[in-house]
Amino acid sequence: MKLILLGPPGAGKGTQAEILSQKLGIDTISTGVMLRTAIREGTELGLKAQGYINAGELVPDELVVGIVKERLSQDDCKKGFILDGFPRTTAQAEALTASGVEIDKVLSLEVSDEAIIERLSGRRECKACGTPYHVVYKPSSAGDKCSVCGGELIQRADDNEATVKNRIHVYHEQTEPIKEYYKEKGKLVIAYGQEELADTTREVAKALGLEA
């Protein structure tokens, strides 16, 4: 299965990607995680990306398309993958199509703007491995540590209120039009984010035609 997860920031894409990754035995490729890793490691890409991310703006297409193409060319992607957070502009979607990658399905995870703001304020992630958590909806079983690697749980720098508002605006302006692009290709399926994680997981499985 070659899958794209679309949706506004805080819709739960990262969490659903993690669940689908285990269910389907394929890797998640998250451009957000790749960019934050580059920032942490102080690479050239990280230095270029940091200002955009902290302002809630999109990193320029050519930077992101380059890292995704390189990752998709690796052998493990042949059996399938889940793209989380890419593409985010029509130009990125067109670049993916032009690179010859055949996508099976594009899942749009829909959540209202009001719910996003509430969700993002409680969001945490592991500083070491990037596993996503939420203080109410998906707490770590290891308390204030990551249940996967024991790392410290932190709030992302771009989850502050002003940046979140801009990210929502950018989503509607630049990313949402991609839905139409994939709808025309007959690839788009929709799932509605629910209060409870298990209910969202069920909606996602149903939309993708998988066993819950």
Residues that bind ligand AMP (CB under 6 A): 9, 31-32, 35, 52-53, 56-59, 64, 85-88, 92, 158, 167
Please tell me which residue in 2, 36, 88, 119 is annotated as part of the active site. 88
Rank residues 157 and 212 by Cβ distance to ligand AMP and give the closer one. 157
| Catalytic residue check, 123 | yes
27 burial level (CB within 10 Å; 0-12, 13-18, 19+): middle
| Catalytic residue check, 206 | no
Please tell me which residue in 156, 183, 202, 206 is annotated as part of the active site. 156
Please tell me which residue in 13, 36, 119, 124 is annotated as part of the active site. 13
Rank residues 2 and 88 by Cβ distance to ligand AMP and give the closer one. 88
In the complex, least distance from residue 163 CB atom to ligand AMP, rounded to whole angstroms: 8
| Catalytic residue check, 138 | no
In the complex, least distance from residue 209 CB atom to ligand AMP, rounded to whole angstroms: 25
Rank residues 9 and 12 by Cβ distance to ligand AMP and give the closer one. 9
Are 186 and 83 spatial neighbours (Cβ–Cβ below 8 Å)? Answer: no
| Catalytic residue check, 167 | yes
Please tell me which residue in 2, 36, 123, 124 is annotated as part of the active site. 123
Q: What end-to-end distance do the CA atoms of the chain give, in Å?
A: 16
Rank residues 86 and 188 by Cβ distance to ligand AMP and give the closer one. 86
23 burial level (CB within 10 Å; 0-12, 13-18, 19+): middle
Q: Where would I find the H helices in the chain?
A: 13-24, 31-41, 44-55, 61-72, 90-98, 113-121, 161-170, 177-184, 197-208
Q: For tokens 């200002």, name the residue.
A: 51
| Catalytic residue check, 13 | yes
Closest C-alpha to 90, from 29, 11, 180: 180
Known catalytic residues?
Answer: 13, 88, 123, 156, 167
